[in-house]
Amino acid sequence: MHLRFSGWFAVLTLCAACLLSQPLALASEAREYQLKAAFLHKFAVYTEWSDDALSRKQTYAATTDVAAGSSVALSPGSASAPSSSPSSAVASAANQPVEPLPLRQFIHLCVFNVNRFQGALDAIDSKPVGKRWLRVIPLQNLDDVSACHMLYLDNQALSEWRWDEAKYRDILTVSERESFLESGGMISLYIEKGRLRFAVNLQNTRRGGVNLTARMLRLAKVVGD
């Protein structure tokens, strides 16, 4: 079986022409997770949150231990750029402290019960999202998601999912089961003709206060419009 990038991902990827020139064989479960992680990064790039949601969630993460497992420090007034950023590399080379970033410089991708996915998620942690960086935050449960801008749930984790408009406000929710869109979820990943694709429930994104750009929606299977 061959699993390839869908057309929308090719458009959003800088080296898309190179990627599409040869099929990407799904040689292992790990490879599948790599593709899904790449999609999650692009979802972050082409999703818009209100200024209030960006700053409120960042501040909450900075004042709690919800993100203790992340590789990026987030203490108020001392949050520094991820190691993948140019400024961090220069500062490290010069053995000088990294200049602090404003609190709103991170997009939090929260993941629940996805241990097998962790290696692929590590690869997108600290990747740029516009003028910000993606920050992967592993969750032990769904009791407190206040710091999350995005929430990814695998099929096993869905057993604990219950839509709550107040709880999941301003959070882009993503899973792999089509029925997820019928229970309040926003994006569902699926495979069609050997390609990884995604479906979006627009009614749910609007209800949740999340805006998906027109460029992203043109490449999605849209329901609930």
The pLDDT tens digits of the residues spanning 178-221 come to: 889 999 999 999 988 888 899 999 999 999 999 999 999 999 99
- Per-residue pLDDT, 63: 67
What distances in angstroms separate CA 198 from CA 142, 204, 222, one per listed residue? 23, 15, 9
Residues 186/163, Cβ–Cβ less than 8 Å: no
- Per-residue pLDDT, 117: 82
- Per-residue pLDDT, 96: 42
- Per-residue pLDDT, 64: 66
Q: Which one of 91-95, 109-113, 207-211 scores highest in mean pLDDT? A: 207-211
CB contact set of 209 (below 8 Å; sequence gap of 6+) = 50, 53, 169, 170
The CA-CA-CA angle for residues 72, 10, 181, to 5°, reads: 70
- Per-residue pLDDT, 66: 53
Least confident of 15-29, 32-46, 58-72, 122-136: 15-29
> Which one-letter DSSP state was computed for residue 2?
B
Where do the structural domains in the chain lie, given as residue ranges? 27-71+103-223
Phi-psi region of 199 (alpha: psi -120 to 50; beta: other; left: phi over 0): beta
**Torsion sign across C-alpha atoms 129, 130, 133, 139:** negative
Interval 97-106 mean pLDDT: 53
Is 60 exceeded by the pLDDT of residue 153? yes
Q: Looking at domain 27-71+103-223, which CATH architecture does it have? A: 3-Layer(aba) Sandwich (3.40)
Residue matched to tokens 């064989």 = 25
The pLDDT tens digits of the residues spanning 40-57 come to: 999 999 999 998 888 888
CA 145 from centre of chain: 14
pTM: 0.74
Interval 124-142 mean pLDDT: 91
